[in-house]
Structure 1
Amino acid sequence: MKLSRSLIAGAALLMAATSFTASAEDNVTLRYMPSHGGISAHELADALGYFKGTGITIKNVGYASGGPESLFALASGNIEIGSAATPAVINAIASGNKFVAAYPTNGIDDETKSIFYVREDSPIKTVKDLAGKSIAINTLGAHLDYTLREALHQVNLPERAARPVVVPGPQLEQTLRSGQVDVAAFGYWQTTFEGAARSKGGLRPVFNDTEVLGPIAGGFTVLSADFVKQHPQAARDFVIQSARALDFSRENPEKTREILARQLKARGENPELAQYFTGYGVRPGGRAEDHDIQFWIDILERGGVINKGQLKTSDILLKV
């Protein structure tokens, strides 16, 4: 089922704003699932007090292993804030879910990227050497999975030439060093784990997603279209204040790391990981562009995952 153009256009108008002034429509609790080792823009916005006066309360309901799990919880009504890689979001909408990609959660660029590592003594030197090898990724059907497929495609190998293995972010380094997999992929949202692993030595990067995809939004915060319709002011304030937090992070990286360290400690994680946080890699204002979506629509059409012309960027991307 496609989202109606009128709903998307209406939501876009409701969310358009020229200032960061908040005005509460009603009191709304938005549940979400955090990622190990990281902090989302809405978590940062909450820590900075940006939701005060908006009537918005956000509530952590437990970790998500990856974007698909987050989208499933959103579709089931167990959370109000989803987050997933762009191809997973497109797949979910193509399958009939009434979702809206509200703003990029992260982007990939020269500073923030997903990196595919091997052990220093590995014979793997290039993408072509990945054929038949096992690749640790956090989840199937999301960013790392599709980045791997596209990397193989670009060197004229079958997209399934390598074997992805699901490994939670906190165990990526150990799984690679112990030889349980040939390659471990640290996602752009897992720069804390990547930095910690790199600091110990003995690992070597083979390629990263920026080399394969170019600068692009890696994933999106996702709201249900019904939520936007029922709570337009809360949705508007949520997007505006989260985008404001993205800008804060770019302008205040050290302060952001301090906040992340406190968040990790409060969640029972290792606060030392915060020193390796490289930022969100998004454009100023959390802006998305049609290319962020169209790139993946083209790839999914090429692979027969969605039908040609089934979706357009306007069916998915909420302009702010």
Structure 2
Amino acid sequence: MHLATAPNRRQFLALLGISAAAVSCGRAEAGGSGGKGSQTRTLRYQGAAGAVTLPELAEDLGYLGDVKLEWVGNTISGPQDIQSAATGQTDFGGAFNGAVVKLAAQGAPVKAVISYYGSDQYAYSGFYVREDSPIRTPRDLIGKKVGMNTLGAHSEAMLEIYLERNGLSRAEIDKVEALVVPPVNTEQSLRQRQIQVGVLGGILRDKALATGGIRPLFTDFQLLGAFSAGTYVMTDRFLKANPDTARTFVTGVAKAIEWSRTTPRDQVVARMTEIVRKRGRNEDPAALKFWRSYGVAETGGRIDDKAFQLWIDWLGKRGDVPQGKFTARDLYTNDYNAYGKAG
């Protein structure tokens, strides 16, 4: 099977980067300072095939009130999703927090408003090797190929942090070859020895483990503990024009996070399956039976500095973003999350 050619770091940033002109050329967001009645109550967004996003769950549960979601298609990646939000093609988008840092470094006027996924004992990504692999320690990875869904994002960050924490030098880390392999092909590539390590998560991880013959080297949950890894962003312009809509949306998503935590798993899966069936997008809901958690660490998806500081530091050391350009607090706001607040 052909492995995708991995873009270099400059190409990746070029794909992610947008100019201030691009941000300004999107549809002018509806709304203004004239009160709730003048604000848009419809939010355009991108979904994911066969999956139920937290906003979709929130809407189905009635947590968005009179705010409606308008599906405009499915996203191909987190960086693409937040770029669509930044350019006004959608009203919100979600991605790995490192991608949000990169977008902000390119000058996009966006703010993260709520966490929507992360890693915990149920929702995590693992770095897997074949059962008979000689790879046992971090140093064994030198000169080996590690397949992951994209470069410069969550999986590459986990790999480098793992290697750094185990004493490998920068020169040694550079000898570990990260390759782009589509997630659906990762298990096969690993078993056919085209790569020595494969990153697997969710249903793809569970199915591969059920088949047997592979074992984990480490997981992101083992490495960092429970942590929120991605956030939804909105533009500063949208937030200023539609503060009540943003508050309804963010608070509704926060309620959906907590509903998914406190509701028996079989009921959550049943609800999600019904959402997929009734929205009529010709999807297979079979993967939903493997759902166990969204992995959001904080109550109500509230964001804290550590959600971004790790990635600011990591990307700064790599030279992907200017060091000292911004702090974690510049990148997010909890002002629109009323979950748990009196009144």
TM-score, with length taken from structure 2? 0.78
Which residue is 1:162 aligned to? 176
Residue type at the aligned position of 1:185:
V
Is 2:83 the counterpart of 1:48? Answer: no
Residue 333 of structure 2 is aligned to residue 307 of structure 1: no
Q: Deviations over 1:18-76 (max 9, x none)?
A: xxxxx8764433222223554321121122232232xx222333332321121222233
CA distance in 2, matches of 1:65, 1:131: 31
The aligned counterpart of 1:6 is none
**CA separation of 1:192 and 1:308: change in aligned 2, threshold 3 A:** same
CA distance in 2 between partners of 1:130 and 1:268 (Å): 42
1:173 equivalent to 2:187? Answer yes
1:260 is aligned to 2:272: yes
Which moved further from structure 2: 290-299 or 96-105? Answer: 290-299
| 1:171–1:63 Cα change, 3 Å | farther
Shift of 1:267: 4.3
The 3-state SS of whatever aligns with 1:307 is coil
Return 5+ residue gaps in structure 2 as ranges: 1-17, 19-35, 338-343
1:65 touches 1:168 (CA, 8 Å); kept in 2?
A: no
Query: 1-side partners of 2:206 and 2:60: how far apart?
Result: 24
Identical-residue share of aligned pairs (%)? 34
1:144 equivalent to 2:158? Answer: no
Bigger Rg, structure 1 or 2: 2
Q: Using a 3 Å threshold, how does the CA distance of structure 1 residues 157 and 166 change in structure 2: closer, same or farther?
A: same
Whether 1:117 and 2:128 are equivalent positions in the alignment is yes
Answer yes or no: is 1:185 the counterpart of 2:191: no
Task: Give the letter for the 1:115 counterpart.
Answer: G
User: TM-score scaled to structure 1, two decimals?
Assistant: 0.83
* Secondary structure, counterpart of 1:62 in structure 2: strand
Unaligned stretches of 5+ residues in structure 1: 2-22
CA distance in 2, matches of 1:172, 1:41: 26
Moved more, 140-149 or 124-133: 124-133
Q: In angstroms, what is the RMSD of aligned CA positions?
A: 2.4
In structure 2, C-alpha distance between the alignment counterparts of 1:24 and 1:174, rounded to whole Å: 54
Aligned to 2:288: 274
Partner of 1:12: none
Identify the range of structure 1 (288-297 vs 57-66) with the bigger mean alpha-carbon deviation. 57-66
- Which one of 144, 159, 162 corresponds to residue 133 of structure 1? 144
Aligned residues: 294
Between stretches 26-35 and 110-119, larger displacement belongs to 26-35
**Letter paired with 1:86:** N
TM-aligned CA deviation for residue 195 of structure 1 = 1.8
In the TM superposition, what whole-angstrom CA distance separates every residue of 1:83-115 from its partner, at most 9, and x where no partner exists?
A: 111111111101101111111111222332211
Residue 216 of structure 1: how far off its partner (Å): 2.0
